[in-house]
Chain A
Amino acid sequence: MSSDRRPWTFFVLATLFTLFVIFLYGPMISILILSFQGPNGSLSFPLRDPSLMWFGEVFNPSRVGDVPGAFSRSFPLSIIVMLLTVLISVTAGFGFRRHFRGSTLIFYTAIASLIVPGLVLSIGVLVTARFLGVSANWYTTGLGAHLSWTLPFGLLIMFAVLGRLNPSYEEAAYDLGASKWQTVKEVVVPIVFPGMIAVALFGFTLSYDEFPRSWLTIGTKNTLPLEIWTMTTNVTSPSLYALGAITTGISFLVIGAALGSIYLIQRKRAGL
């Protein structure tokens, strides 16, 4: 380990790692390429007469589903879920720093909410809506079902972030005359901000891509993952891949923005 020559296991594991990365990204890249298929191209390789026509088809509701409509629900839903996830899990994370009655119960409820099969929860939320006499909608039952999935993630991230937050920072602020609110605003939030971005990233992407918890809870009009799900069975043109490329592109934009801003903040703190 201490010698400079790499052990043979390094090369074996480096090969395994490379193969794994190819395994992870290969299929995604292949549908990205195939989304540029020409008019006579099929759902598989080779790529014939590259064109952008299937991207146009995505927005043609008669051929495909109502993609713009689905997006117009999915996007705001993900944004709302993201904001609520940050707000609720950050405040709850601070609450959990102090021991309180029922903390263990709430914690394990959150963990249970994380591991309960999505379909079971979907059924439950739908039945609950029925009993309450409300109709399922993306902005009511759908939102709640998504939160039951994103909040435990947010909480776990906040646990990790706040576990590393030295209480001396808050005491120092208090010592220097900051009020409770000023301490939160001027010291705590700026310090844990990268963690909050991570929570936001999970909140947005988990909601944007959620399928089983959406299935029965979003009502009659589909969100994007459900729209794609329907398309997997009845759309047989490369427009399916084009749609996949577009949504994956949006995901990558969000991931890039989140990771990029975390990187910039850390860089600034290191004084670079």
Chain B
Amino acid sequence: MSERRSFITQLQVAPLTLVLFLFFVVPVALVVIVSFFRYQMLVGLVPDFTFKNYYDLLTNPTTWALYLSTLKFTLMVLVITLVLGFWLSYFLVFHVRNLVVAIGLFLLCTIPFWTSNIIRMISWRPILGREGLVNQGLQEVGLIDKPLDWLLFSDFSVVITYVHLFTLFMMVPIFNSMARIDKALLEAAIDAGATRWGVIWNVVLPLSKTGIALGALFVVTLVMGDFAVVKVMSGGLSGSATSGMFNDLQFLNYPRAAANAVILLIIVMLIATGIFRLIDVRKELVR
């Protein structure tokens, strides 16, 4: 009986396992293997076991500059999305009294998630461009007399776009955690003499920890793995960890692109493990 049951369970999970194995485990493993291969012009991949790709990358100051730039973006976006995600969720959970309204407003924030990132990205052009809405507006008011150049194709527009695209990934998990907080806890804290800030700091924030951690995980991996936004929105002025990879791929230098991918993967996984050590994600999810 129980053996048959466990067979059925295995069968139910088998398709998932198969897809993950074939299209995640094997590809990632091969990326690691290929990163030790040699690259030869016109031939492409040559099986080998060399650290040359890693050596090339790590001794190249450009690599370091690119990673530093990515880390800078990641940190900035993390802070902004965290602040936004926390306060927007707080507003929906604790200030909107009607549940239906809260759900409606929540959906209003999530709908753009289901639309194209690329479209959302280019939609900033008519806003931030030299003749964009912002420059037009500022000129009309008389605050500036010639258009600001740094609005589009700059670090500023890259960060704006990241925040635009990824705040939701921070907000949804935090909202989820906060929605589970028993409102009586807040009243109990106020009865115990806590101020509004005291309640937020001592009750709401600790109980939103899981959501914050999950959101941070999403935002960090999304920004670090991005290459589209930084390429289009910086106008080629800034680079990211993936820019090197992107260039190598244009020249079909798969081994070096793979080595670069492995380095990125290691950094992302390190951050992820750090976050997973803080919380038991699975337990929190099925709760």
Chain A residues at the B interface, C-beta cutoff of 8 Å: 1-2, 6-7, 9-10, 13-14, 16-17, 20-21, 23-28, 30-31, 34, 42-45, 87-89, 91-92, 94-96, 98, 100-101, 103-104, 106-107, 109-113, 115-121, 123-125, 127-128, 130-131, 144-145, 147-148, 151, 155-156, 159-160, 163, 201-202, 205, 208-209, 211-212, 216, 225, 228-229, 232, 240-241, 244, 247-248, 251-252, 254-255, 259
Contacts and interface: CB of A to CB of B under 8 A. Distances in A.
Interface stretch (B48-56, B58-66, B205-213, B261-269): B261-269
Contacts of B261: 117, 119-120, 123-124
A271 B30 CA distance: 54
Contacts of A96: 13
Contacts of A259: 107
Nearest to B125: A43
B8 to A, nearest CB: 8
A252 B196 contact: no
Contacts of B228: 211-212, 229
Contact of A209 (B5, B30, B115): B115
Nearest to B32: A124
A241 B249 CA distance: 29
Interface of B: 5-6, 9-13, 15-17, 19-20, 22-31, 34, 45, 84, 87-88, 90-92, 94-95, 105, 107-109, 111-112, 114-120, 122-127, 129, 131-133, 136, 164, 167, 186-187, 190, 196, 217-218, 221, 224-228, 232, 242, 245-246, 249, 254, 257-258, 261, 264-265, 268-269, 272, 281-282, 285-287
Nearest to A89: B16
A44 B9 contact: no
B43 to A, nearest CB: 13
A193 to B, nearest CB: 18
A127 B31 contact: yes
A27 B95 CA distance: 27
Contacts of B23: 121, 125, 144-145, 147-148
B154 to A, nearest CB: 16
A30 B254 contact: no
Contacts of A128: 22, 26-27, 30
Contact of B116 (A25, A95, A106, A251): A251
Contacts of B227: 119, 212
Given A115-B217, A117-B224, A125-B23, A31 B282 contact: no
A113 B120 CA distance: 24
B15 A91 contact: yes
Contacts of B187: 1-2
Contact of B12 (A28, A94, A131, A244): A94
Q: What are the nearest 9 A-B pairs in CB distance?
A: A117-B225, A124-B27, A95-B12, A27-B123, A144-B23, A13-B91, A92-B16, A95-B13, A205-B114
